[in-house]
Structure 1
Amino acid sequence: MRIDWIEDLVALLDSGGVADAARLRNITQPAFSRRIRVLEDVLGIELIDRSVKPSGPSRVLRDRESDLRKQAGDLRRLVSEMRQEQTLGVRQLVIASQHAITTSLGTQIINAVAKPSHTHIRLRSANRDECETLLISRQAEIALTYRIKAEPAGEEQSFLAEAIIGSEMLIPVCATDHAEDLMARFREGTLRIIGYPADVFLGAAVTRHALSNLRDQCEISVIAETGLSTAALQLAQSGLGVAWVPEALAQPALQRGELRRLVPELGGIDMDLVAQRWASTPNVATLEAWTRLTTAL
């Protein structure tokens, strides 16, 4: 479907009526009505409900509103990227990355991919499932996610290429000034932690591979919960409790002496940093970025 047709339909949905939609599209009402009639003939679908006055979007059009808005957004983004490439001579590459990876390794990713080839990198930070969805739906060329080393990798998808490009560890940390108190409480039978929701990757990882080994030794007291490792790190630094975070994320605070690493006492979780892309792709920028990512990180 032509982009101007989709824009016409979105304008109709935005305004709720033909006259206002015509004004949004900066054309006369008769001209807009003719365009909609042509589109109805082409699609064989009633797009305007003419049984009411003033006429407005038909039920079938309203039912597909979210799909149309998504298509309009995707097409606008595509056109913008193509214009940017033509104007600047710069190729755009979308990399979907888990939040924790973006925070701890974002600069390294950009340096590894963008600088050598003058490729414009759009780093989309998302949770693990969203990263995989962005890749499968071709909204991202490459996905970067964590995988627990102790867990089976699962069945490989034949349409995806995969490479392990690094290692990471989820480590328990706490504020240095509060470490003695927190560890004393732990020895007495209570471990105060900053938790993650059970339905996110980090939450499942910490529950299965850290807390399950500690429940026989102590009671787990979740002082606060967050879905972001950066927030968990900040809460741990404030002295509230222990948080399991990627070691690369905690490294600056560890080096400054603000955090204490508690792996010997509470255990760490080894992870692989996994890159994925479509196995068959003609996109030169993707292939070049893949080569650099798999050798530079």
Structure 2
Amino acid sequence: MAMRDGALKTDRDTMRLEWIDDILAVLDCGSLAQAAEKRMLTQSAFTRRARTIEDSIGTTLFDRRRKPVTLMPAVQMLEPELRELSTRMHKLRHTLRTASNTSGKPLTFVCQHALTTTISPRIVRAATQDGETSVRVRSGNQDECILQLLSKEVDLAIMYALPKDATSDISSAFETVNLGDDLLVPVCAPSLRADASNAVIPTIAYPADVFLGQVFARMIRPRLPGAATTLPIAETALTLAMVQLALSGIGIAWLPLSLVADALDHGDLIRVDDVLPAQVLNIKMVRLRGARTDNNDKIWRHLAEHLQIAP
């Protein structure tokens, strides 16, 4: 009998989430009969379950003086708490299930800083379409992205690269997929439009040791018109900070078009690539060769097929 009682207690413990959902079904439907249909039970089985819930809790939850039978007013007042608890418990159950399943291991990826804001939401949406995959997002400069791949801290990285540039090709230790292109474009506040044609151009600069700083030095500066030179007014490696500096009228900035599209649409920034050079950038998805799992390989293929990015 002790074992039987223990077994009953375990069964009741595992039913508690079902009990909450049963109560919410009555709240939603307004009667035991309709709630039974929603919960895919016969009316007699649902009525027995209602009795079990009351016996276990030790109080009356259902007002049987009314027809149709519904919940007591005091229970109805607890609806917000019941809904929140149901949501939390369903989420916890899902998390526990996926945590013990290797196919549910979170995907971890890192984006180059300039891509985190614009690209990572699309990657998360594409990777989690099946409802089973969770995602962890990191951000870093290009060197940090590569180091995190090499140390296997992340499953994949999203980075910029110069098109057809042999010197910047990712090492043979990595697999790469080209997701599309972006454009490093000169932009400024409308009040600085004329400054783009000056002999000395006020700019917001990247540090020389970051990827976009190297792109500027190699691909932009040599193509400045005539004898024009740049005068750095401010310097930052953070593209989001550079956007704010450009919006403030500090100087002309070379920024990814994907990052400033909204500001351009609203007229807060303007493009000046009719006067100053722009540079096409490839967007690459990168992973370490040989560090794949069945699940991550599936996600990699899915992203390669569905995550195509246009400038």
For the aligned pair, the TM-score class normalised by the smaller chain equals 0.5 to 0.7
Instruction: Check if 1:179 corresponds to 2:192.
Output: yes
Which whole-Å deviations, capped at 9, do the CAs of 1:24-46 have from their partners, x for residues lacking one? xxxxxxxxxxxxxxxxxxxxxxx
**How many equivalent residue pairs?**
213
Instruction: Check if 1:152 corresponds to 2:166.
Output: yes
Question: Which residue of the partner structure matches residue 266 of structure 1?
Answer: 276
Question: Which residue of the partner structure matches residue 134 of structure 1?
Answer: 148
In structure 1, give the amino acid aligned to 2:192. A
1:229-244 superposed matches below 5 A? 229-244=239-254
User: What is the alpha-carbon distance in structure 2 between the residues aligned to residue 170 and residue 121 of structure 1?
Assistant: 28
Q: 2:220 aligns with which of 196, 210, 225?
A: 210
Offset of residue 289 of structure 1: 1.7
Q: 1:121 aligns with which of 114, 122, 135?
A: 135
Question: Which residue of the partner structure matches residue 203 of structure 2?
Answer: 193
Which whole-Å deviations, capped at 9, do the CAs of 1:121-174 have from their partners, x for residues lacking one? 111100000000100111111011100115225566444221111111111100
> What is the percentage of aligned positions where both structures have the same residue?
31
Instruction: Check if 1:288 corresponds to 2:302.
Output: no
Task: Assess if the C-alpha contact under 8 Å between 1:142 and 1:286 holds in 2.
Answer: no
Query: Following TM superposition, where does structure 1 have runs of at least 4 consecutive aligned residues deviating by more than 4 angstroms?
Result: 81-84, 153-156
User: What is the alpha-carbon distance in structure 2 between the residues aligned to residue 117 and residue 288 of structure 1?
Assistant: 14
Instruction: Check if 1:110 corresponds to 2:124.
Output: yes
SS in 2 for 1:240: coil
Task: Assess if the C-alpha contact under 8 Å between 1:179 and 1:260 holds in 2.
Answer: no
Question: Which residue of the partner structure matches residue 259 of structure 2?
Answer: 249
Question: Which residue of the partner structure matches residue 165 of structure 1?
Answer: 179
Q: Which has the larger radius of gyration?
A: 2
In structure 1, list runs of 5 or more residues that go unmatched: 1-80
RMSD across aligned C-alpha pairs, in angstroms? 2.4
In structure 2, list runs of 5 or more residues that go unmatched: 1-94
User: What is the alpha-carbon distance in structure 1 between the residues aligned to residue 260 and residue 224 of structure 2?
Assistant: 22
Q: Normalization by structure 2: what TM-score?
A: 0.63
Offset of residue 295 of structure 1: 1.6
Task: Assess if the C-alpha contact under 8 Å between 2:201 and 2:229 holds in 1.
Answer: yes
In structure 1, give the amino acid aligned to 2:193. E
Offset of residue 285 of structure 1: 2.6
Task: Assess if the C-alpha contact under 8 Å between 2:157 and 2:287 holds in 1.
Answer: yes
Offset of residue 97 of structure 1: 1.0
In structure 1, give the amino acid aligned to 2:269. L
1:79-118 superposed matches below 5 A? 85-86=99-100, 90-118=104-132
User: What is the alpha-carbon distance in structure 1 between the residues aligned to residue 272 and residue 225 of structure 2?
Assistant: 17
Task: Assess if the C-alpha contact under 8 Å between 1:119 and 1:285 holds in 2.
Answer: no
User: What is the alpha-carbon distance in structure 2 between the residues aligned to residue 108 and residue 155 of structure 1?
Assistant: 25
Which whole-Å deviations, capped at 9, do the CAs of 1:44-82 have from their partners, x for residues lacking one? xxxxxxxxxxxxxxxxxxxxxxxxxxxxxxxxxxxxx99
User: What is the alpha-carbon distance in structure 2 between the residues aligned to residue 279 and residue 172 of structure 1?
Assistant: 36
